Structure 1
Amino acid sequence: MRSPIPDYLLEVLDSCGEDGGAVADYIPELAAADPDRFGICVATVDGTIYTAGDADVEFTIQSMSKPFTYAIALADRGIDALNERVGVEPSGEAFNEISVERGTGRPKNAMINAGALLTHSLVDGDDSAAQSERVRAGFSRFAGRDLVVDEQAFVSELASAHRNLGMAHLLKAAKTLDCDPVEIVRGYTRQCSVKVSCQDLAIMAATLANAGVHPLTHETLLSRPVVRQVLSVMMTCGMYDAAGDWMTDVGIPAKSGVSGGVIGALPGQVGIAVFSPRLDSHGSSVRGVEAFERLSRDMGMHLMDVAQEGRSALRGAYVTEGDDPMTVYEVQGDLRFAGAETIVRAIAEGEHETRRVALDLTRVYRLHDVGRRMLLESVRRLGEDGLEVVLVDPECALPEAADVGSERLTVVDSLADGTAST
């Protein structure tokens, strides 16, 4: 069976409007971006990648670099030490506002430019070049491949970095920044000029969603306390002066960038990245925000919509014995997107040498809307593939199955009934 998830992602891209917003024009290299590019990638915490559209097109990471540099600095300095230098409060201001806290001289958080400049200065390294290389190498480990700096974009952005230079000199005057403001702006600009794709960003976000363990290499890159700190600041500060709207409408820890990307990390489930260069008044991708709203609504991804418990959704998969064997998938628990995706993937990857496939919902005690729709689509596609489907549903958890309209579907109350129906 072919998984329905890539088709759904294509539908999301098709449903998001093309009007509104404009590419960033204060950086010449960004002003030349193709405004019609649109890509999306969803990476699960166990390493499955789903893409649609321009997911492999590279662009500069820009402000989406901030959570990852913050993570590196937290790992280098420790959470308490970093909190003394950079705050964690939402600023309520635009990303490039020139401001610091009164009395302390601290930037309000690490997601606005002032905080990101200071955070970059706190990464370990003997000099600015060493710090920049540590950041680039760290990003590469998060992405699972060697990332490079777009030198042309770096030169273009550095030439117009007057506002960031003003912030850096303000931090220096407030005695918050210890080193040369010009060198820090140079290093931060290189950080923002690292080239990534949607797929890179989704994998990087999935590493945060997976408590710091890389979903593909299985390497532990960050400690759990560091990940919790990063995700918390992303949730409250990552979308700048639109953070409140984002929290209520989307509810996923996120970060945007003026190149047109938006990343989200849903703890324990997925990393998501969307790319579309046209920006809104907050400096976030218009279609990227719309796509995240759609994903959150359709897939039940809002962080405050808490599952009752997180047991494994796939209890077992096996083939029955007898003259007419049957491939059985036993489903259990509270089925949301991540759990349903596990089931859908197992079915999609199954060899199915039997003519019949059973989906046993006996131990399912809650089916969220996204889980219901994904299971129904799987039942439909199995029928299209020419397989007989037996739905074991004693509690009528999936009453809509009767509407699938497949003559190859049989609904029974027990697996024994399904075996007897041959």
Structure 2
Amino acid sequence: MYANLDWLTHTRESAYLPMENIPHQDHPEENSYLCFQRTPSLRRKWRKRYGGLDGNKLLEPNTEDDSTENGSVNEPHQDRNFPQTQSPESLVQARATTVNPSLKSQNAVQPQMPIKFVTPGSIGKRGSCDIAPVGSPMVTNGRPGKVGPQREQAGNPTPFWHSFNRLDPQQAKRKGTADVLFESFASEGRVNTSRLFEAIWRSGIRKTDPRIIDCHLLMTKLQAADGTVNRDAFHRSTTGFVSFIVKALQGRFIIPDFPTFTEETQKLFLKTKQLDPVKQGPGNEGSWKWGVSICTVDGQRLSLGDCMEPFLLEALSWPFVYGMAVDQLGVDYVHRYVGVEEFSKYDSPFTLTKQGMPHSPLIVTGAIITASLLQLPARVEAEEEKYDSVLNTFRRLCNKEHTNLNCTSYQNLKKESVRLHSLSFYLQEKKCFPESVDINAAVDLIQQCSSTEVTCESGAVMAATLANGGLCPLSGDQVLSPSSARAMLSMMQVAGMNDYSRLFHFKTSVPAKSSKSGSLLVAVPGVLGIMCWSPELDAFANSWKAVHFCEELVSTFQLHSFDIRTPFRQVVAYRQWKAESEGYQIMNILLAAYRGDVQSLRRYFLSGVDMNAVDYDGRSALHIAASQGQTEAAKFLIENAGASISVRDRWGTTPLQDAVRSNHSHMVQMLQKSEG
């Protein structure tokens, strides 16, 4: 992950430096001897603690105590001190003593010239940069350079891990969530409302979302002429919405990286739109229309193409009628009158199972039976019309978005209802209906449900409600019981795609239901719901564009039930890994600073991650942002996240010195202004 980043692979030239190349030496007579300046590499300890840089080991931090080979436990940070390295003469002497112990006494009495070791000096005044005189050699942090800290010849240096201050946990607890949220966006004591809500919209939440619309309207009303609000107005506007806003900014939705998900989905949408049908099917008028809408179980929305074009539910209403019957009467009672088999392979609908009932509630005969079950007087109020109750449930499923009865289509369907009446008479002859039900009312209810008009957006919310166990993600209304939603999804999985059900299940393993209007409803349990619409049908009477799009989407984002999901696979990972180790968090913070990704930095800051955390070279996120010239990221780290400007890496370098060395003038000015 870090292999291609300069700020992780750069090494300091800290090997062997001759005495004559080091300025201000106190013993010029010792120039003939070599002295050594070595800075210990902390990669070994860092990898031992956090599990290395490869694979899933980062997700399992090593909590064992650091111990030596003989079992003794080291003090904290003991091995981070800069050790004094032996000279070549002492190394030769040690080897000779090992080979011939008799040389030990001879070498012990021989006088030796004292070896002076050059140790990393302590840094002078914070942020000061000394320029070497022309013609004089200078070493900056163990390597030649123009700018660097002053080095002292005596005394032990202050380790870099003592040069930054961590946030007091007790002080952090005293801060409220609203205060932390305010400080993460504040600039000079005020918050820009457009910046705040743009960050929220990037997570997939819309302005019309009922969970945030009141907060948005109130803050817009209280903002000043420059579009900012103070702390009091911010607290007043966000009261009751803080937890939702923080959840959106922390990326704790089912799709944490929604911009990447949107980009990849748009590519699939355009690719599908440009495809030509292999085989024409019936009813291909208006084939140029193509719309897709997606809604997750957390209410994240994405709509593409002709998503606002209304179309009829038709056969898509049958699983919902079945779910309402199960919710009111129970699954055991409903399946006394209708079977649970896969899609019937018989050409004629005038066929029943061996038990004398329709094969499935998702075929026309099964839909008539389930519609008749909704008429039982013990479950429906007498003064309420049957369809009004069903339509009210439809609207609750989609949070009262576009869902209406198309009266013109309903009247046309009534004129052509001979087939439905003949099937109802056949079922009546076979005694498939329960007692005391009105068969004509059941047929009329099916016609009204089939004539219900929706759009891709409202249909996607209905699918997301099914994927969320009957709980609408936008309103929080438990429309259907979880057992009813489970029964609906199970039937959609085995009989929802007509004769293509088995093959679609093999490729995607997700429940789906199609209709001859060109619509396709897909529910990925616990993740999202999809509604696609294209009037162009294939030989199975399914929308071939919708089928192709859903199959590609499942393959791209690993939505198949038997996919092994891991964040290190070369695919777009849609799930959030909730158990990130400390080492993995440090890697992500430094990578976000390298890219200038303020959104990711804010997400980790709101999650309580220490923004002064360092890697094995002691470099913090501010070091990385300063060396790469990421001004916005550095500004956020200093002003909002409280990052320390005086933090030093293991070479004693501050972020200001990194900015000067990299010739980022704007970064230097900002850091100097922050220090002053």
Q: TM-score, normalised by structure 2?
A: 0.45
Q: Tell me the equivalent position of 2:370.
A: 119
**Alpha-carbon displacement from aligned partner over 1:283-304 (angstroms, at most 9, x marks no partner):** 2111111111111111111123
Q: Counterpart in 2 of 1:403?
A: none
Please state if 1:170 is matched with 2:426.
yes
Q: 2:361 is aligned with what amino acid?
A: A
Measure, in 1, the Cα distance between the counterparts of 2:337 and 2:400: 31
What residue identity is the alignment partner of 1:13? F
Once the two structures are TM-superposed, the CA of residue 273 in structure 1 deviates from its matched residue by 1.0
- Of 390, 393, 406 in structure 2, the residue corresponding to residue 138 of structure 1 is 393
Q: 1:247 aligns with which of 484, 505, 511?
A: 505
Q: Which residue of 39, 55, 69 maps to 2:291?
A: 39
- Distance in 2 (alpha carbons) for counterparts of 1:95 and 1:190: 26
Q: Which amino acid aligns with 1:186?
A: D
Given that residues 153 and 193 in structure 1 are in contact (C-alpha distance below 8 angstroms), is that contact kept between their aligned partners in structure 2? Answer: yes
Q: Shift of residue 4 of structure 1?
A: 3.4
Q: Aligned partner of 2:362: which letter? A: M
Deviations 1:138-187 (A, max 9, x none): 11110111621001111122222332222211111111124343332221
Look up the equivalent residue of 1:207 and give its one-letter code: T
Question: How far, CA to CA, are the matches of 2:305 and 2:352 in structure 1?
Answer: 40
Cα offsets for 1:217-239 (capped at 9, x unmatched) = 01112222222111111111111
Which residue identity is paired with 2:399? G
Asked whether the equivalents of residues 199 and 273 of structure 1 are also in contact (C-alpha less than 8 Å), the reply is yes
Q: Work out whether residues 142 and 214 of structure 1, in 8 Å CA contact, stay in contact via their aligned partners in 2.
A: yes
Q: Which amino acid counterpart does residue 498 of structure 2 have in structure 1? A: Y
Shift of 1:260: 0.8
Could you tell me how far 1:274 is from its partner in structure 2? 0.6
State the SS of the aligned residue for 1:222: coil
The answer for the alignment partner of 1:54 in structure 2 is 306
- Secondary structure of 1:4's counterpart equals helix
Residues 190 and 386 of structure 1: CA distance in aligned 2, closer, same or farther (over 3 Å): farther
Distance 1:249 1:272, change over 3 A: same
| Distance in 1 between residues matched to 2:455 and 2:631, nearest whole Å | 38
Aligned to 1:405: none
Could you tell me how far apart the structure 1 residues matched to 2:428 and 2:452 are? 26
Identity %: 24
Structure 1 residue runs of 4+, over 4 Å off?
126-129, 306-312, 326-329, 346-353, 385-389, 419-422
Matched, 1:153 2:417: no
Deviation at residue 263 of structure 1 after TM alignment: 0.8
Q: 1:274 to 1:386 in 2, by over 3 A?
A: farther
Q: Decide which moves more: 65-74 or 129-138.
A: 129-138
C-alpha deviations, 1:248-292, integer Å up to 9, x for none?
112110100111110111111011111001112222111111111
Find the counterpart in structure 2 of residue 276 from structure 1.
534
Task: Tell me which of 518, 521, 537 is aligned to 1:263.
Answer: 521
User: Which 5+ residue runs of structure 2 have no aligned equivalent?
Assistant: 1-198, 203-258, 568-573, 581-588, 616-627, 635-648, 659-676
May I ask how many residue pairs the two structures share in their alignment?
338
Shift in alpha-carbon separation, 1:307–1:229, aligned structure 2, 3 A:
farther
Contact 2:398 2:461 in 1 (8 A): yes
Aligned residue in 2 for 1:108: 359
Residues 338 and 359 of structure 2 are in contact (CA less than 8 Å); yes or no, is this contact kept in structure 1? yes
Paired residue for 2:556?
Answer: 298
Check conservation: 1:238, 1:256, Cα contact below 8 A: yes
Opposite residue 271 of structure 1, the aligned amino acid is G
- 2:132 matched residue in structure 1: none
Structure 1: gaps spanning 5 or more residues: 25-30, 317-325, 330-343, 363-382, 390-415
Aligned residues of 1:6 and 1:52 also touching (Cα < 8 A): no
2:424 counterpart SS class: helix
Relative to structure 1, the CA distance from residue 94 to residue 51 in structure 2 (aligned partners, 3 Å threshold; closer, same or farther) is farther
Of residues 76, 85, 89 in structure 1, which corresponds to 2:337? 85
For 2:523, what is the secondary structure of its paired residue? Answer: strand
Change (3 A) 1:352 1:158: farther
* Whole-Å separation in 2 of the counterparts to 1:88 and 1:202: 25
Deviation at 1:245, TM superposition (A): 0.5
Q: Which residue of 2 aligns with 1:408?
A: none
Q: Structure 2: how far apart are the matches of 1:351 and 1:305? A: 28
Change (3 A) 1:128 1:93: farther
Aligned residues of 1:18 and 1:287 also touching (Cα < 8 A): no
Contact map agreement 1:59 1:197 (CA 8 A) in 2? yes
| Structure 1 pair 220–280 and aligned structure 2 pair: CA distance change class (3 A) | same
1:187 and 2:445 correspond: yes
Q: Is the 8 A contact 1:93 1:240 kept in 2?
A: no
DSSP-derived class of the 1:219 partner: coil
Task: Look up the match of 2:577.
Answer: 313
AA aligned to 2:390 is: V
Does the Cα contact within 8 Å between 2:464 and 2:530 map onto a contact in 1?
yes
Relative to structure 1, the CA distance from residue 306 to residue 153 in structure 2 (aligned partners, 3 Å threshold; closer, same or farther) is farther
Q: 1:314 to 1:351 in 2, by over 3 A?
A: closer
1:202 aligns with 2:460: yes
Seen in structure 2, the aligned counterparts of structure 1 residues 97 and 202 have a Cα distance that, compared at 3 Å, is same
- What letter corresponds to residue 477 of structure 2 in structure 1? E
Report the Cα distance in structure 2 between the residues aligned to 1:289 and 1:105, rounded to whole angstroms: 33
8 Å Cα contact 1:98-1:166 kept in structure 2: no
SS for the counterpart of 2:335 is helix
Counterpart residue type for residue 134 of structure 1: S
Distance in 2, matches of 1:116 and 1:264, equals 19
C-alpha distance in 1 between matches for 2:412 and 2:281: 19
SS of the residue aligned with 2:530? strand
Partner amino acid for 2:577?
Answer: A
Change (3 A) 1:386 1:232: farther
Question: What amino acid is aligned across from residue 341 of structure 2 in structure 1?
Answer: E
**Post-superposition offset of 1:328:** 9.1
Match of 2:267 in 1: 11
Q: Distance in 2 between matches of 1:184 and 1:96?
A: 21
- Give 3-state SS (helix, strand or coil) of 1:52's partner: strand
Q: Which digits, 9 at most, give the CA deviation of each residue in 1:37-78, with x for residues without a partner?
A: 101111110111111111111111111112211111101111
Query: Aligned ranges for residues 400-411 of structure 1 at < 5 Å?
Result: none
The alpha-carbon distance between structure 1 residues 291 and 386, as it changes in their structure 2 partners (threshold 3 A), is farther
Shift of 1:308: 8.9
Q: Which residue of 2 aligns with 1:375?
A: none
- Equivalent-residue separation in structure 2 for 1:67 and 1:22 (angstroms): 25
1:85 partner letter: Y
Matched, 1:98 2:376: no
RMSD value, Cα? 3.8
Give the TM-score normalised by structure 1: 0.70
Deviation string, structure 1 residues 69-115 (Cα, Å, up to 9, x no partner): 1111101111110111111111333798332213x321111111111
User: 2-side partners of 1:308 and 1:218: how far apart?
Assistant: 30
CA contact (8 A) 1:94 1:112 kept: no
Amino acid paired to 1:187? L
Q: Distance in 2 between matches of 1:352 and 1:99?
A: 63
Measured in 2, the distance between the counterparts of 1:303 and 1:77 equals 30
Go from structure 1 to structure 2 and tell me whether the alpha carbon gap of 1:348 and 1:92 turns closer, same or farther (over 3 Å shift).
farther
Rg (Cα) greater in structure? 2
Structure 1 pair 40–23 and aligned structure 2 pair: CA distance change class (3 A): farther
Asked if the contact 2:372/2:439 (under 8 Å) is kept, the reply is no
1:379-419 Cα offsets, whole Å, 9 max, x none, are: xxxx9x98669xxxxxxxxxxxxxxxxxxxxxxxxxx99x9
SS of residue paired to 1:115 = helix
Inter-CA distance 22–351: structure 2 relative to 1 (3 Å threshold): farther
Structure-1 separation of matches of 2:347 and 2:591 = 52
- Aligned partner of 2:342: which letter? P
